[in-house]
Structure 1
Amino acid sequence: MKALSILLLIFMILASLRALFCDTDPQDVAALQSLIKGWQNFPSSWEASNDPCGAQWDGIMCNNGRVISMRLSSINLQGTLSNSIGQFSELAYLDLSSNSGLSGPLPTSIGNLRQLTTLILAGCSFTGGIPEELGNLVQLSFLAMNSNRFTGRIPASIGLLNNLFWLDLSENQLSGPVPISSATSPGLDLLTHTKHFHFSGNQLTGNLNGLFSPSMRLEHILFDNNQLTGPIPAELGSITTLQILRLDNNKFTGAVPTNISNLVDLNVLNFAGNQLRGTMPDLSTLTKLNVVDLSNNSFDPSAIPTWMLTLKTLASVAIASGGLYGQIPNRIFTLPGLQQVILSNNAFNGTLNMTGNITQQLQRVILLNNRIVAAKITQSYNGILVLVGNPVCLDPEFSSSHFCSIQQDSIISYTTSVTHCGSTSCSSDQSLDPANCGCAYPYMGRVFFRSPLFADLRNNEHFQLLEASLSTELGLQPGSVFLSDIHFTSDDYLQVQVRLFPSTGTSFNLSEITRIGFDLSNQTYKPPQGFGPYYFVADPYVHFAGADDGGKSQVSTGAVAGIAVACGLILIAVTSGAIFALLQKRRSRELSGQTNPFASWGIAKKDSGGAPQLKGARFFSFDELKNCTNNFAENNEIGSGGYGKVYKAILVGGTNVAIKRAEYGSKQGAVEFKNEIELLSRVHHKNLVSLIGFCYEQGEQMLVYEYVSNGTLRHNLQARGIYLDWKKRLRIALGSARGLAYLHELADPPIIHRDVKSTNILLDGNFKPKVADFGLSKLVADTEKGHISTQVKGTLGYLDPEYYMTQQLSEKSDVYSFGVVMLEILSGRLPISKGRYIVREFRMAINPNDHNYYGLQGIVDPAIHDAAHTAGFRRFVQLAMECVDESASRRPTMNSVVKEIEAMLHSEGLSSGSSSTVEFEHVGTASTSHLYSGQVATARSNSSSSTAEEPPRPELKHSEP
């Protein structure tokens, strides 16, 4: 009996010790253990310890001992979701996406997660109704429950989620009407801040009257493939922020509202497959329209609408069964961006004339079942043309033409090439990695782009950009993405089979899979412009690196108990000493922190190991910056972006500064943060932004810059009311080039910026340029080698192709990026716009024999047309093209670029000296927004993940699509 009492005492002491040293709140531990009971294939690390936060369970992230994030995408979880999910009172992020084995109803206790901001259940197999309790999640901003088996009605309580900007309930079995608010019930019409309404592929009925209002800021409205009835609401025409509108394959009736013409930012309009009547809508004012489909309605018979002949942005137009008649005008085939025309089952007659200046992009013309009696086709047209069902195919001289055969309508789409790998083959459960030609276990899935802005699947450029962006933004090795089985589904979604390969070894580890899965399901990954909104459904990943048999712990419960009892006496003996040492260490750290502002620098794990070496910049306490921004008040906010928010402040002494404050989900790793501080503090040049100081305290990352008042170069090139003439643009280019030349040749050691772009060039009060954002910069430590081997980072559109392919970084990589900036200065265009790359556009357009515009009349910014005939303009174009040469060795140095632009200014009779104070003319009343409000986020390969060189992040935050 005495022995039993002693043993009981030992276990009580052990339990007390565990409670003392456990980092996780007991409530969260109990909730996780309850989840485990209902799941199979949970991570094996969950069995190795009863301390999720202290032992860093895979997929679990904590803050102050509370679970704040569960990222468990694509790990083959099976089972049901326990009611215990509601016990995670501090949970902010829950991602269970692409676990098709998760089924059963969604517990109502999920409504207890009052701190939840992100809920992603896409690609699971949940059934039953969506709980009304979701309306309790008032912090929720991202809700994705698509691709499940939910039934019943959309809960009206979702209308209470005022912070929601992404709402995706598509691809379920939801029925009934869309809830509209009343005196006694909320509705989705209250979601005035939401930007994405995705309800495709359900069984929704009723009409949409009352759902929309002018106060909404919607960008995407997707109600395709439902059973909605009634008229198309006229209120849609008041939501001028709309970019994509899909109401196809429903039962809408009546006429198309005439105020649809107000949607001047619309890129995609699809009303196909309804019962619409009346006059064909006039879309002539929708000058950004890329894709339009009005097929299979009951419009009044008419000739081909004139807007089809004038909208130069059109890539795809479809009006099958549209009651159209007359002869098809030849002009439609000369629209510059047109790729596809579908006009089947109409009454077109006469002669089809496809001769003359047919656009090269045109790949598909479908004219089935019309009344065309003759056809003239230019020999240079090599795309698809289907004339089956027209009288012309009865003509013996034409009937043998392949245009009268339906079989030639098959399209061979793009597939990633592995021809460089020779005859290498892999086992059935592995695939060939195009990056290294080795065999590995890829992370596979399907990306569905709901409304792409193009129709040509044979355009390699589109999909090569997609490959590059996936590898860069997901932090993978360049070239480690394989695309295949690219096709349009019956719902007009672009489906792409994706294989992603690990950067090292043959398998991903579990943390890599959950990170990548979260980036794709949370829309952190942004595809190239033109692909449109997407959703990702992954195949469960089972070949984790380092996984043991069955994913279970190798140590038995009995062994664990025996070891615990054996160690108990030793633990008791050392407890007092350990506690005393812990308290002493904590007190020492606190005292150190009071005298050393860098004491907190190395607390986070996997840090850089030491405080930054500063030259001139100072440390600011959190309280100092809090006070000078009035507790970061909204009226001091001057911008925001992927990094966080920027505040204008006045320091004690009167200095104007801009304080860039990172949000939790956008913080750099300590290495990148330290890198930017050290670089900015040691470089001093009039064309480089000056760092005044920083704050790295209380979990904050803040940079204090000189205040640069006139925004980014990108903003000034695009904003209305700002006029930059040719000479002013030359001075901006010269100043920016001088700043980069200083980094390359005068800094000691030299520095490669690695993220040169127009949003990283700021303009001060005199519009003098200052190069900014050194978070990705690299020191050139080995000048003899001439390059640095490094993981590819940068921004798509500006990325040096040689650096991307070889991972060999040099100063010439900055030269390439600056060349792209020069092309922006010439054109005012983004580097990548609607699937077109600015470098390629210039290469194709330049015509040395054109003495007026050098072949660039359609590309050059109208604001500088008058300069296009000058020798300086031509030389600037030539210099830009030299900078973007595919071979780094043929590009000039930045110092040479500086001298060339100086010569251009002299030839214009202008000074290139630094004393010039150029005043810029502002037209009208438009104001210039501050630069820091520009697009701060770049395509950094590690921008949304915790890597080996970053500390674990206390929070995550999606970036807005």
Structure 2
Amino acid sequence: MACTKFLPLLFMWLLDQQLGSCSTDPQDVYALRSLSGEWKNGPSSWRHSDDPCGNWDGVNCSNSIRVTELKLFNMGIKGTLSNAIGDLTELQLIDFSNNKYLNGQLPPSIGNLKKLKTLILIGCKFSGTIPVELGNLSQLQTLSLNANHFTGRIPASLGRLADLVWLDLANNQLNGSIPISATEGSGLDQLAHAQHFHLNKNYLSGPIPLSLFSSSMNVKHILLDSNNLSGVIPESIGLLQKLEVLRLDRNNLIGPVPQSISNLTRLKVLNFANNELTGMIPNMTGMHALYNLDLSNNSFDPSEAPSWFSSGLQNLTTLTIEAGKLHGEVPEKLFSFPNLQEVKLSRNSFSGALNMGANISKQLKVVNFQNNLLTSVMVSSNYNDKLILVGNPVCSNMHIYQTEYCQVPGQGFTIKLSDSIVCSNPYEATSMFRAPYFSYLNDSIYYPQLRENISNKLGVAQRFSIDNYSFDSDEYLQVHMKFCPSGSGSGSKCFTSKEILMNLDLNSKIDSLPDVFGPFYFMMSEYQCQERGSKILIIGLVISFSAASLAVICIGSYAIRKKKQAERAISKSDPFASWGSNGEDIGAAPNQQSVRFFLYNELRKCTKNFSNSQVIGTGGYGKVYKGILPDGQIVAIKRLQKDSLQGGLEFKTEIESLSRVHHKNLIQLCGFCYEKEERILVYEYICNGTLSENLSGSKSTQLDWKRRIQIAWDSATGLAYLHEHANPPLIHRDIKSTNILLDDNWNAKVADFGLSKLVKEVETGNASSFVKGTWGYLDPEYFRTNQLTAKSDVFSFGVVMLELVTARSPLKGGEHIVGVVEKAVNRYDREFYGLKHVMDEVLVEEGNLIGFKQFVDLALVCTQMSAEERPAMSEVAMEISMIMKNLD
């Protein structure tokens, strides 16, 4: 027994002898070695030096002896967090954020770090319950565990964190009620100094406790949106005199809005949308600080426009009350609030004339009165921006019908900016603003302010640009940024690990941007960089070039002539010989297999010089033309525009994917053209258009129940082949009704492979982590965690299945199709399963829908929030085939 106790001391002595001149405390060295022993990779400096305090990237020490900070964000660490973390007892800061393969449970030993002030684990893959031992961290000020896979309840022990200012547990799978001290001894009501309660996007249930809020609290931001909270909004909410942001939207809250809400005179953002609130629309009079207000999709009593529509809210930028049961005339003064940018009052019953007089806010960009009862409109010449009146009687007037007011609005979510910088190896990040004071990123106000503050307040030394921004379905603002290594220009210089950790420390500054952007955090894309140059390579190139020049001089004009002949031959045999000369070309040239190369002039002739009369579709990529080849074959020709949202990567992916997959339910690629800066794809022609087109208008009458089941089975079969039998298997990543085409026999074919990823790349972590897809169809777990799997396609396909039932778009009026169907399901309704009022009328009239219940249940299983609960695509195809057999 004595020998056993002596072994650790002996080991520490041997370690100390081995380190020699190492100044770091041996206990800390041992702990760090134990941590890295659980990882497959990490900073290379940890392997090349024996002294952590002197040479290890991401390790900061006090007096060069004890480790006080571990900053290892976005280092590509794979593995788990060892219990040895608890031995670094002098730690004050831990930031392991955006290591998307750092998984497993958070070890309880982390509760030993009594001096820890900051713990940031954003965007990792930690799972299991949050350890109760975190309540022992008496000096903790920042706790950011958002965008992980934590489950179970919020530990009541967190209430003991008396110094906590920032609490962020969002984007996890936490469930149960919010803990309070009255019932559990400790609770979140004890966090008197906390300014940020971010518990959004979980599965929290039960009522919001009355005692959760008190006048002694300093809270500024409360994010409880996208949970399963029920009951009433507690009257105690009015005690929070410093509150600036309150999001309770997307829950199951009931009852009237408490009158105490009027006490929140500092409130800037208020969102109660998508609940079951009743009574009168709350009185906002006196809430002069309010910028962004959303009360949509509740069960308020019918009323005329409240008086505060005309005065009092001088700071208001965004007013959203969709489906609010408002009626009567629209007050003209509504549009004169000086900072107003967007008015969204669709799906109400406003009637009479819409008068937008001369005193219109200069900031106003969007006015949406879709689906009201307006009979006339008067718009001042001072307003030249978007006005949406489709679905109003006024649009039956032939004079106004042709105007853009009466056209169905597009769903463009992403705004690209023009000041994007160019460099070969950028470091990319997406900032997630969860409650901005605005819903329109004004280029002349907020955009320059954002650039300036990221430059100055975050202390970023590198050149950077904001490439694009978008508001997602949760009304979060996503801003995609790109940072370039200093002095890189368009060359190949890379960021080193040390430069990233020192100069791009974004999440530790999460409270440093102006309040107008609201609470936010950064998600960084995995950084991979390969420098193309080295001294040896340059020397080799110089020698090779000199030898080649000498050979040319010696051989003379004969060699020059042969060289030109060879170049012409290469150009004919290798259509991608010039790949890379265009700035939008990405990576190596496409590896096509037996795909025909078309000359530009061939395609120009067969489309009548790309005549508009031949256009059969348009999209973010450009236009699709119908063409007839010289052999009589009809084809669809997709020509990418110069300003396309897609580019070289999508063009390359489409060629490589479709040249390798062959299935009757996948679109066939006939060829491509890469010439004269043109990127053109040639497909088989599918005459009956997209599923989306056929589910709308008169065409939907041709899609009876049996045909819709056949379409679902065709699509599922094609995707199952793609996931499991293609060589190599692929994940489509953009399944939607516009990417399912119907031929002359109504057989379905899956199309558009521009975003697809190889399953092998995804499983090995070599695929880009930047989330792509289409809102409404996008897998929420993929969006939340950046973890793409084949189950992401299953979620998207489940949404398509619900479209086949309802003939409605995935996002309509602020509601997602999954939520609409889930809320409507009535398992006692044998005929329509409770969905009669949300179904496509064509199916309601048909009746006797064999297998309807099984089909809807299968769709809802496919759209489960957790990928683990969704079936594989082959299982989906099999289930649909069973329904088809019962139809015969």
Instruction: Name the TM tier (shorter chain).
Output: 0.5 to 0.7
- Does residue 298 (structure 1) correspond to residue 284 (structure 2)? The answer is no
| SS, match of residue 445 in structure 2 | helix
Deviation at 1:416, TM superposition (A): 3.8
Contact 2:270 2:294 in 1 (8 A): yes
| SS, match of residue 154 in structure 1 | coil
Looking at structure 1, the residues matched to 361 and 13 of structure 2 have their Cα atoms a distance apart, in angstroms, of 82
Looking at structure 1, the residues matched to 27 and 279 of structure 2 have their Cα atoms a distance apart, in angstroms, of 62
Deviation at 1:184, TM superposition (A): 5.2
- Structure 1 21/410 Cα, relative in aligned 2: closer, same or farther at 3 Å? closer
Looking at structure 2, the residues matched to 527 and 16 of structure 1 have their Cα atoms a distance apart, in angstroms, of 45
Deviation at 1:183, TM superposition (A): 6.2
- Does residue 503 (structure 1) correspond to residue 486 (structure 2)? The answer is yes
**Who is 2:449 aligned against?**
465
Pairing of 1:546-585 with structure 2 (within 5 A) = none
| SS, match of residue 325 in structure 1 | strand
Contact 1:74 1:517 in 2 (8 A): no
**Aligned counterpart for 2:382 among listed residues 374, 380, 383:** 380
- Does residue 145 (structure 1) correspond to residue 145 (structure 2)? The answer is yes
**Who is 1:191 aligned against?**
191
Looking at structure 2, the residues matched to 18 and 451 of structure 1 have their Cα atoms a distance apart, in angstroms, of 53
| SS, match of residue 119 in structure 1 | strand
- Does residue 224 (structure 1) correspond to residue 217 (structure 2)? The answer is no
**Who is 2:499 aligned against?**
512
Pairing of 1:639-658 with structure 2 (within 5 A) = none
Amino acid at match of 1:536: F
**Aligned counterpart for 1:393 among listed residues 368, 385, 395:** 395
Pairing of 1:829-848 with structure 2 (within 5 A) = none
**Who is 1:329 aligned against?**
331
| SS, match of residue 467 in structure 2 | strand
Pairing of 1:290-369 with structure 2 (within 5 A) = 290-310=291-311, 311-369=313-371
| SS, match of residue 365 in structure 1 | strand
Contact 2:511 2:519 in 1 (8 A): no
Looking at structure 1, the residues matched to 530 and 14 of structure 2 have their Cα atoms a distance apart, in angstroms, of 34
Contact 1:207 1:230 in 2 (8 A): yes
**Who is 1:861 aligned against?**
none
Contact 2:388 2:405 in 1 (8 A): yes
Amino acid at match of 2:467: S
**Who is 1:61 aligned against?**
60
**Aligned counterpart for 1:485 among listed residues 450, 468, 473:** 468
**Who is 2:417 aligned against?**
415
**Who is 1:448 aligned against?**
432
Deviation at 1:455, TM superposition (A): 2.2
Deviation at 1:88, TM superposition (A): 0.7
Describe the superposition over 1:589-631 as per-residue Cα deviations: whole angstroms up to 9, x where unpaired: xxxxxxxxxxxxxxxxxxxxxxxxxxxxxxxxxxxxxxxxxxx
Looking at structure 1, the residues matched to 268 and 13 of structure 2 have their Cα atoms a distance apart, in angstroms, of 67
Structure 1 unaligned spans of 5+: 1-10, 419-431, 434-438, 549-961
Contact 1:386 1:409 in 2 (8 A): no
**Who is 1:537 aligned against?**
523
Looking at structure 2, the residues matched to 113 and 240 of structure 1 have their Cα atoms a distance apart, in angstroms, of 34
Amino acid at match of 2:256: A
Looking at structure 2, the residues matched to 274 and 12 of structure 1 have their Cα atoms a distance apart, in angstroms, of 60
| SS, match of residue 94 in structure 2 | strand
Describe the superposition over 1:198-254 as per-residue Cα deviations: whole angstroms up to 9, x where unpaired: 011111001112211111110000000001001101111011000000000101111
Contact 1:333 1:359 in 2 (8 A): yes
Describe the superposition over 1:869-906 as per-residue Cα deviations: whole angstroms up to 9, x where unpaired: xxxxxxxxxxxxxxxxxxxxxxxxxxxxxxxxxxxxxx
Looking at structure 2, the residues matched to 45 and 131 of structure 1 have their Cα atoms a distance apart, in angstroms, of 31
Deviation at 1:409, TM superposition (A): 6.2
Looking at structure 2, the residues matched to 525 and 501 of structure 1 have their Cα atoms a distance apart, in angstroms, of 24
Looking at structure 2, the residues matched to 13 and 172 of structure 1 have their Cα atoms a distance apart, in angstroms, of 43
- Structure 1 234/12 Cα, relative in aligned 2: closer, same or farther at 3 Å? closer
Amino acid at match of 1:129: T
Deviation at 1:386, TM superposition (A): 0.8
- Structure 1 234/544 Cα, relative in aligned 2: closer, same or farther at 3 Å? farther
**Who is 1:80 aligned against?**
80
Deviation at 1:17, TM superposition (A): 5.3
Pairing of 1:6-405 with structure 2 (within 5 A) = 18=18, 21-53=21-53, 55-64=54-63, 65-182=65-182, 185-209=185-209, 210-310=211-311, 311-405=313-407
Describe the superposition over 1:325-379 as per-residue Cα deviations: whole angstroms up to 9, x where unpaired: 1000111011111000011111100011113221111100111111111111223
| SS, match of residue 522 in structure 1 | helix
Amino acid at match of 1:390: N
Deviation at 1:481, TM superposition (A): 1.7
Deviation at 1:20, TM superposition (A): 5.9
Larger mean Cα displacement after TM superposition, 75-84 or 405-414: 405-414
Describe the superposition over 1:542-597 as per-residue Cα deviations: whole angstroms up to 9, x where unpaired: 3388999xxxxxxxxxxxxxxxxxxxxxxxxxxxxxxxxxxxxxxxxxxxxxxxxx
Looking at structure 1, the residues matched to 439 and 510 of structure 2 have their Cα atoms a distance apart, in angstroms, of 25
| SS, match of residue 205 in structure 1 | strand
Looking at structure 1, the residues matched to 120 and 94 of structure 2 have their Cα atoms a distance apart, in angstroms, of 6
Looking at structure 2, the residues matched to 387 and 38 of structure 1 have their Cα atoms a distance apart, in angstroms, of 60
Contact 1:384 1:409 in 2 (8 A): no
CA RMSD of aligned residues (A): 2.3
- Structure 1 331/15 Cα, relative in aligned 2: closer, same or farther at 3 Å? closer
Structure 2 unaligned spans of 5+: 1-10, 535-888
Amino acid at match of 2:283: D
Describe the superposition over 1:662-687 as per-residue Cα deviations: whole angstroms up to 9, x where unpaired: xxxxxxxxxxxxxxxxxxxxxxxxxx
Contact 1:449 1:535 in 2 (8 A): yes
Looking at structure 2, the residues matched to 98 and 472 of structure 1 have their Cα atoms a distance apart, in angstroms, of 23
Looking at structure 1, the residues matched to 96 and 533 of structure 2 have their Cα atoms a distance apart, in angstroms, of 20
Pairing of 1:581-620 with structure 2 (within 5 A) = none
Describe the superposition over 1:459-494 as per-residue Cα deviations: whole angstroms up to 9, x where unpaired: 24321222232233344457x222123111100001
Amino acid at match of 2:507: S
Describe the superposition over 1:52-98 as per-residue Cα deviations: whole angstroms up to 9, x where unpaired: 11x32100011141111000011111111111111111111000001
Looking at structure 2, the residues matched to 378 and 155 of structure 1 have their Cα atoms a distance apart, in angstroms, of 57
Looking at structure 1, the residues matched to 470 and 12 of structure 2 have their Cα atoms a distance apart, in angstroms, of 64
Contact 1:447 1:495 in 2 (8 A): yes
- Structure 2-normalised TM-score? 0.56
| SS, match of residue 39 in structure 1 | coil
| SS, match of residue 397 in structure 1 | helix
Looking at structure 1, the residues matched to 389 and 343 of structure 2 have their Cα atoms a distance apart, in angstroms, of 12
User: Share of identical aligned residues, percent?
Assistant: 44
Looking at structure 2, the residues matched to 196 and 255 of structure 1 have their Cα atoms a distance apart, in angstroms, of 25
Contact 2:414 2:470 in 1 (8 A): no
Larger mean Cα displacement after TM superposition, 377-386 or 140-149: 377-386
Contact 1:510 1:545 in 2 (8 A): no
| SS, match of residue 440 in structure 1 | coil
- Structure 1 473/214 Cα, relative in aligned 2: closer, same or farther at 3 Å? closer
Contact 1:248 1:271 in 2 (8 A): yes
Contact 2:390 2:407 in 1 (8 A): yes
Structure with higher RCO (Cα < 8 A, 6+ apart): 1
| SS, match of residue 502 in structure 2 | helix
